[in-house]
Structure 1
Amino acid sequence: MTAATVPIRRRIRPARVVNTVIALLVALAWVFPVYWMLNSSLLPNTVLTSTTPRFLPLGGSLDNFAAIFREGSFWPALGMSVAITLTTVVVCLLFAFLAALAISRFRFRGRTAFVLAVLFIQMLPAEGLFIAQYKLMGSLNLLNSVIGVSILYIAAVVPFTIWMLRGFVAGVPVDLEEAAMVDGLSRTQAFFRITFPLLAPGLVASGVYAFLQAWNEFTVALVILQAQESQTLPLWLRTFVQASATRETDWGQVMAASTLVAVPVIVFFLFVQGRLTSGLVAGSVKG
């Protein structure tokens, strides 16, 4: 047997094995609450309240989901959440994108003050603004409305989104646009054909942040949306926990409702995760 045909055995490093085991344990600890929620949503309340936990949904059913759909308030809450979230994401990305371009590409009077204002706004506690926000929305007749809550969400999400996009815009060299303009493109054409594809990952990442903030937000919605028919999904989920001591909370329905709230988030991530990397590759190739 010659030296060329001797199989090369890779030495397994103990440190790599340890790191792999730790990573698996961390992943298991992260996934287990999600699994427990799904498992509990398929079990009756009598099993969930027993002293013996059941780790597999043996004998489970979809009765908890059927009870939620029969109750009828899920679809209005879903529609409210979708409308508020989409409005927040679209408007927030538009304003944040233009602001990030302005502070990254241009020098103008008041630029430093604007950047500092965006930074200081992030330091304000949200709870300290509730009374002012409620009075403002009440004076504009925007309580219990999609527009009213969306305005507050946009105002809360835009500052941090500007900081996120500013880093992406600053990471794209201006020389790319100037080279395209030398080749005969206008400034607008150079931006949309060269720079904009490179910013697609930043827009997706910022959109994910805005989506999560609007979809999961609870406290502002609790203050502004007080009507029963204007609840978002986080507020709707609260109705499954009985406040009365004489009524027992049906934890099977709570877990089923939590699963329904989490499904759109999972679908959204599955939809955008490929575009987060493909946008970066496609943009660099086009450049």
Structure 2
Amino acid sequence: MIAPGTAHQGVRLGRVSAEARAGYRISFRGRTGRLLADAAGLAVFALMAFPIYWMIATAFKPGRDILSLTPKWFPAPFTLQNFEDAIARPFFLDDVKNSVLIVGGTVLLSLALAFLAAVAVARFGFRGRTAFIILIIGVQMVPLNALIIPLYLMLDGVGQTDTLAGVIAVYLAVVLPFMIWTLRGFVANVPVELEEAAMIDGCTRVEAFMRVVFPLIGPGLVATAIFGFIQAWNEYIIAYVLLASPENQTLTVWLASFTTNHGPEWGPLMAAATLTGLPVVAFFLVLQRWLAGGLTAGAVKG
């Protein structure tokens, strides 16, 4: 005969053992899930990073290795001839200058206009405000290719095709909606009470905004500038359609000159693509912490 206390203790131990097994299963499933998620993330990263690696590796390979039927994963022997050929291509320096002028003008002008529009939308109530916000969102859904012909006809009518100013004007129309929407979130996140306190201390409304609010939305301005820079630097179809003269084209259009009637010149093309991508990578690496923090802050509040 089993004593009552012993039986109760056995039941309790059995219950604890069952709970421990259940906890172990949950912990095991959690670790397995994390491992699978990490593996999936690494696979996606490898899938996206491999083309970039192959482009850079090909840029340093001699021609015989590039066209070899047996792929070589590493550039051996190492050569800079492809970069020399790319830089020696006609209009390289002209197209670098054009890209810098177009992208710089687009980013600076779009930041100024988007900032003023974002302040108006976030701080002031006016008739048509809701319709304006809906328009900003809706414009971003229109495919860019559908606007190429109307944009060309408009610029041709005012004599601005094949000019840097015409391309900058089109780029402004492309990047402004996103920049206004993003900056609106940053401005809305700054409490109005800060401006009111500054105005009580003797500042005008403009002074209060510039001295109090403007420094607080600095990360948002940087994050928005990065997106405007990347979009304008990488754009191809607008520059290709609007800029006919080789001396007026951008680097993205210049890359097309490496595709001839005999096929692509793979070595110089990969070297040119690597050179074209370096400014974007450098710009992003320098300002990435503002990009991450700025997007998070701007998305918190509408």
TM range (shorter): 0.7 to 0.9
User: Per-residue CA shift, 1:89-126, capped at 9, x if unaligned?
Assistant: 11111111100100110011222232233233223332
Indicate the residue corresponding to 1:195 in structure 2. Answer: 213
Q: Tell me if the contact between 2:95 and 2:254 (Cα under 8 Å) persists in the aligned partners.
A: yes
Indicate the residue corresponding to 2:285 in structure 1. Answer: 270
Distance in 1, matches of 2:211 and 2:217, equals 11
Question: What one-letter code is carried by the residue in structure 1 that aligns with 2:51?
Answer: P
Indicate the residue corresponding to 1:254 in structure 2. Answer: 269
Percent identical pairs in the alignment equals 43
Q: Structure 1 length as normaliser, TM-score? A: 0.85
Residue 266 of structure 1 deviates from its aligned partner by 1.0
Distance in 1, matches of 2:215 and 2:200, equals 19
Residue 31 of structure 1 deviates from its aligned partner by 2.3
Distance in 2, matches of 1:31 and 1:122, equals 28
**Of 51, 71, 86, which residue of structure 2 is paired with 1:68?**
86
Question: What one-letter code is carried by the residue in structure 2 that aligns with 1:85?
Answer: V
Indicate the residue corresponding to 2:179 in structure 1. Answer: 161
Paired residues for 1:42-61 under 5 Å = 42-61=60-79
The gaps in structure 1 that reach 5 residues or longer are 1-10, 281-287
194-203 vs 15-24, which moves further: 15-24
User: Per-residue CA shift, 1:131-158, capped at 9, x if unaligned?
Assistant: 2211221222211111010001101111
Q: Structure 2 length as normaliser, TM-score? A: 0.81
Q: Tell me if the contact between 2:137 and 2:177 (Cα under 8 Å) persists in the aligned partners.
A: yes
Indicate the residue corresponding to 2:106 in structure 1. Answer: 88
Q: Tell me if the contact between 1:87 and 1:150 (Cα under 8 Å) persists in the aligned partners.
A: yes
Q: Is 1:225 aligned to residue 240 of structure 2?
A: no
Distance in 2, matches of 1:276 and 1:39, equals 29
Q: Is 1:127 aligned to residue 142 of structure 2?
A: no
SS in 1 for 2:61: coil
Question: What one-letter code is carried by the residue in structure 2 that aligns with 1:170?
Answer: A
Count of residues in correspondence between the two structures: 267
**Of 13, 27, 40, which residue of structure 1 is paired with 2:45?**
27
Q: Is 1:99 aligned to residue 120 of structure 2?
A: no
48-57 vs 256-265, which moves further: 48-57
Question: What one-letter code is carried by the residue in structure 1 that aligns with 2:80?
Answer: L
Distance in 2, matches of 1:120 and 1:234, equals 28
Residue 193 of structure 1 deviates from its aligned partner by 2.4
Indicate the residue corresponding to 2:157 in structure 1. Answer: 139
Structure 1 131/193 Cα, relative in aligned 2: closer, same or farther at 3 Å?
A: same
Distance in 2, matches of 1:92 and 1:19, equals 39
Cα-Cα RMSD? 2.2
Residue 236 of structure 1 deviates from its aligned partner by 0.5
Question: What one-letter code is carried by the residue in structure 2 that aligns with 1:257?
Answer: A
Question: What one-letter code is carried by the residue in structure 1 that aligns with 2:287?
Answer: V
Distance in 2, matches of 1:131 and 1:248, equals 29
Question: What one-letter code is carried by the residue in structure 2 that aligns with 1:161?
Answer: M
The higher radius of gyration belongs to 2
Q: Tell me if the contact between 1:198 and 1:279 (Cα under 8 Å) persists in the aligned partners.
A: no
Structure 1 24/129 Cα, relative in aligned 2: closer, same or farther at 3 Å?
A: closer
User: Per-residue CA shift, 1:15-51, capped at 9, x if unaligned?
Assistant: 4444444433333333222211110001123211222
The gaps in structure 2 that reach 5 residues or longer are 1-26, 296-302
Q: Tell me if the contact between 2:220 and 2:290 (Cα under 8 Å) persists in the aligned partners.
A: no
Distance in 2, matches of 1:209 and 1:240, equals 28
Residue 60 of structure 1 deviates from its aligned partner by 2.0
